[in-house]
Amino acid sequence: MASLKNRPHFSLSARTGNTIVLTAAHNCRIELFVLADDIIRVLVLPDGELHGPRSWAIAPGMEDVPLEGRERRDLSGFAATPHSVSDDGRSVVIETACIRLTVARDGGFCSWAIRDGGQDGAWRHVLSDRKTQAYNFGWWDSRVYHYVERQRGEMYVGLGERAGSLDRAGQRYEMRNIDAMGYSARSTDPLYKHIPFYVTWQPETATGFGLFYDTLADCRFDMGRELDNYHGHYRHFVAEHGDLDYYFIASAGTPLHAVRRFTWLTGRPAWMPKWGLGYSGSTMSYTDAPDAQHRMAEFIDQCKAHDVLCDSFHLSSGYTSIGAKRYVFNWNREKFPDIDGFVRSYLDEGVRLCANIKPCLLQDHPAFEEAARAGLLIESRDGEPAWVQFWDEVGAYLDFTNPATLDWWKARVTDSLLRYGVAATWNDNNEFEIWTPDAIAQGFGEPFPAWQAKVLQTQLMMRASSDAQREYAPGRRPFLVSRAGGVGMHRYVQTWSGDNYTSWETLRYNLKMGLGLAMSGVSNSGHDIGGFSGPAPEPELFARWVAFGIFLPRFSIHSWNDDGTVNEPWMHPELTPRIAALIKLRYRLIPYLYELLWQSHAAYEPVLRPMFAEFPHDPRCYVDGDDMMLGASLLVAPVVEAGQSTREVYLPAGARWASYWSGEVFEGGQSVSLPAPFEQPVMLVREGGVIPLNVAEQHFGRPADTRAFIALPFASVGTACGACVEDDGESEAWRNGEQGRWRVTIDSDTDALRVSIAREGHMPRAQTEVQVLVPASETRAATCTSGELVADETAGGWRHLTVRLHG
């Protein structure tokens, strides 16, 4: 090993294809992998050996990785990339079309420049390793370190769901999955997820990059909170074990590019059934009640009585109880005397069940001895179960790195849930809080201390649950949910921000949490609407939370209130009609949300976007506000403070904006104050955007779907455009081409609007007339190039253009 006095001096020792190897004395080794024009990987091995396990994160453009993981030097999925390598004796320079990496031979320090995307294509320096002890060449301990210089004015966005502001600068975070029930959305750390990726963005130059550290270890990020006079301004990453193995992703012009490329790098987001976008009821109280089946029936009755639309219900773990404790895959037949009838009663109303499952067997679980004898549990070195605290009892986690455990789990999911008609699994309490070094995971034949890869168990659990659904019903898309997770979780699950606390502060900071997840490659997410833990939400807070939640991919009202009350749409009778109306607004927007999730699956686009990410050249969009973009075309401005009847919102420069409710058009680059009644959340359509809607009248148990589009054409010359994916919403037939698409364009000039509506591919429903809504202030003559314009009427601030399609 090197010493602080004599840092390693590297030489260029090998170049094979896209791999460049630098070596130094004492077997020090740096391997560089040119993976794409905009992605270069750096692997630092102080003693020349790999110490970490395989990777379950890297799946470029793929739906999954091998079950036993991907070899660290496996380059499958990456194309040959033109690049040059030069060595002037002082440094080695690797250059692609987008990245210039300079590695100092003395110390191996890296310096990164990217092309800024301007007309001159100039190189712009964006990152340098700290010049003093950037890496750990055996100087300190067995942990992994990476120190880089910190530039003034940089923003850091990502790291998954984190408490506090969206910009992580000046803070410190831990990646150590933990059950943080009742957390503060402003300050609690760590939380549930392990996503060691973030985007560095420099607002003044509109350039930046993503850094992903491929590790399963507990790790820490210091984003400039620490200061040490001997080293200048820096930030750093520390992992408890393994290797320094990181990916640099260039991102000029917009930070969204780094997010797309990171999502591509770590696998294709799952294409889930459309019903997963509907309202999902849930509460701990129903299944904890002694007459749980009756209480569950009351939920359906209330949905009917108040005409509350609902597609699914998340069945909390009380259905598994024996006494006061919970036993995964057990059905309490006193609470649920007729399981088949119960499930069927929900399916008959079009409501699917998503059942809670947990990866830990309590020591008195009916199947514990069977699982222990079969070696399915994580064990201590002495062969005994590795005991952990789990809820109100001691138990042991299942070991998902054992193929026999995977088979056992899939069989239990099938026999206990799927065969009854339960549609989905809710993978919960799966943080795998294993702290003892004595616990051993089987590691697919290569045992290792279980604490070194806790999040791997989480990932494999959700994969096994997904595989069970695929094997049981291969023609249906799996739907499953997970609270904890890591890099690659988007390949399997929808997620949420865990057991939040009921407060206005949580409402405000959950918004930022969702944006942080989306900027970390996880778009299919949401929050427990109304708050899970703590007091019941007061009427105003509940209404505002619902008015925010309807815009998120996951929309579930879930609770375990301290006073035993239940968060449900009718909990405040004076507000129930407004809550029902908000849920119907959610269903009106589902075609847009479904299209955004398709774009996430097909093109790795984030569904939720911070304002600055969509408008990086507008300085006012960098303010840490409470607004967000839903896709590229809809600005959402929730009310997150009590006592507000209006909402001031800044409209980004460079575009006009139309109020969804009034049709009034505003110029960008200014702040406006808009009315914000409970049932009319502030939402504005961006100029050039065309948003698909479901305008059919809908009632509980009677779904209907009629497509229309709302748009803001360009004021002068330009083309507004939008699209909408169409399929049966549930099956895998889309893989065989049974999927269609609407494409709508509105070409504008100073005198006229020319509307074109195209239908492509396999359309699941026949629809011969389509409405396109433009603001009522839009008085230019309208024509249609793809059909007959049969009506041109104004109502509610919008001009309704009805087109009868050819063919």
Distance CA 566, CA 76 (A): 50
Quick check: 529 and 566 in contact, CB under 8 A? Answer: no
| Arithmetic mean of pLDDT, 779-802 | 96
The pair of three-digit structure tokens given for residue 225, joined into one six-digit string: 């909170």
Q: How confident is the model at residue 6 (pLDDT cuts 50, 70, 90)?
A: confident
**HSE-CB of 158 using CA atoms within 13 angstroms:** 33
Which phi-psi region, left, alpha or beta, contains residue 737 (left: φ > 0; alpha: ψ -120 to 50)? Answer: left
Q: Is 545 exposed, middle or buried (0-12, 13-18, 19+ CB in 10 A)?
A: buried
Each residue's pLDDT tens digit, 227-257 = 999 999 999 999 999 999 999 999 999 999 9
Percent of the chain residues topping a pLDDT of 70? 99
The pLDDT value recorded for residue 324 is 92
Reading the block at residue 77, the tokens are 């999925």
Q: Among candidates 110, 135, 106, which has minimal Cα distance to 47?
A: 135
User: How confident is the model over 10-65, as pLDDT tens digits?
Assistant: 999 999 999 999 999 999 999 999 999 999 999 999 999 999 999 999 999 999 99
Tell which residue, 786, 638, 795, 639, has the closest CA to residue 710.
795
- What pLDDT score was predicted for residue 438? 96
Strand partners, 409: none
pLDDT tens for 640-666 read 999 999 999 999 999 999 999 999 999
Report how far residue 483's alpha carbon sits from residue 191's, in angstroms, rounded to the nearest whole number: 10
Helices (H), 436-532: 454-472, 504-518
Residues 458, 434 contacting (CB under 8 angstroms): no
DSSP string, 382-439: TSSB-EEEETTEEEEEB-TTSHHHHHHHHHHHHHHTGGGT--EEEE-S-------TTE
Coil, strand or helix at 494: strand
* 551 membership: H or E segment, kind and range: none
| pLDDT class of 118 with cuts at 50, 70, 90 | low
Q: Is the pLDDT score of 140 beyond 80? A: yes
Cβ 128 vs Cβ 213: under 8 Å: no
- Contacts with 504 (C-beta within 8 Å, 6 or more apart), sequence order: 541, 640, 641, 642
> How many other C-beta atoms lie within 10 A of the C-beta of residue 749?
12
**CA pair distance 30, 470, nearest whole angstrom:** 41
Tens-digit pLDDT profile for residues 595-616: 999 999 999 999 999 999 999 9
Q: Please state, in angstroms and rounded to a whole number, the distance separating the CA atoms of residues 70 and 59.
A: 9
- Grade residue 3 by pLDDT with cuts at 50, 70 and 90: low
What superfamily would CATH give domain 706-805?
Golgi alpha-mannosidase II (2.60.40.1180)
φ, ψ for residue 354 (rounded to 5)?
-120, 105
d(CA 507, CA 348): 35
Task: Tell me the per-residue pLDDT of 267-325, one tens digit each, with 9 for 90 and over.
Answer: 999 999 999 999 999 999 999 999 999 999 999 999 999 999 999 999 999 999 999 99
Parallel/antiparallel/unpaired status of strands 144-149 and 123-128: unpaired
Q: What is the pLDDT of residue 310?
A: 98
- Condensed to tens digits (0 to 9), the pLDDT of residues 353-374 reads 999 999 999 999 999 999 999 9
- The length of the chain is 807
The CA distance from 161 to 164, in Å, is: 10
| Over residues 173-182, mean pLDDT | 96
Q: What is the pTM of this model?
A: 0.97
Pick the CATH number of 315-478 from 1.10.3470.10, 3.40.605.10, 3.20.20.80, 3.40.50.300: 3.20.20.80
Question: 411-440 burial, b for 16+ CB within 10 Å, e for fewer?
Answer: ebbeebbbebebbbbbbbbbbbbbeeeebb
**Between β-strands 556-557 and 280-282, what pairing exists: parallel, antiparallel or unpaired?**
parallel
> Tell me: the pLDDT tens digits for 493-551?
999 999 999 999 999 999 999 999 999 999 999 999 999 999 999 999 999 999 999 99
pLDDT in tens, 450-465: 999 999 999 999 999 9
Average pLDDT score over the chain: 96
Q: Is the peptide bond before 190 cis (omega within 30 degrees of 0)?
A: yes
Task: State mean pLDDT over 728-741.
Answer: 97
Sorted by where each begins, the domain ranges of the chain are 9-50+82-127, 315-478, 706-805
